[in-house]
Amino acid sequence: MDLLNSLGRAEPGPQSPECSRKGCRNAADWQVLWNNPKIHDPDRRKVWLACDEHRGWLENFLAQRLFWRSTEPLAGADADPGTVGPDDEPPVHP
């Protein structure tokens, strides 16, 4: 039995950075930087990507939890298309 092949292949990720808001597939224009001070070092920053439409929503979501740190324009090569949104389990980055 070939267990690995029986699980099927994962779908490839997006070819360009997409907004992290659940259900949004718009191109990302912003990096919303955040951390959870209860579990992250003060200098650590996690990133959610945002389109123009959802930038404010994501900032507000994080600010209400005291997680939001800053928002910066997305620089093309620095984008991480594997970043998840607020309704998903956030990845752990070193």
Report pTM. 0.68
| Token code pair at residue 15 | 């070819």
Q: How far apart are CA 19 and CA 83, in angstroms?
A: 9
Residues 60-83 have pLDDT tens digits of 999 999 999 999 999 864 445 445
For residue 42, is pLDDT > 80? Answer: yes
Could you tell me the residue ranges of all domains in the chain?
15-77
Find the DSSP H helices in 1-94: 3-6, 55-64
Kindly state the percentage of the chain with pLDDT values over 70.
69
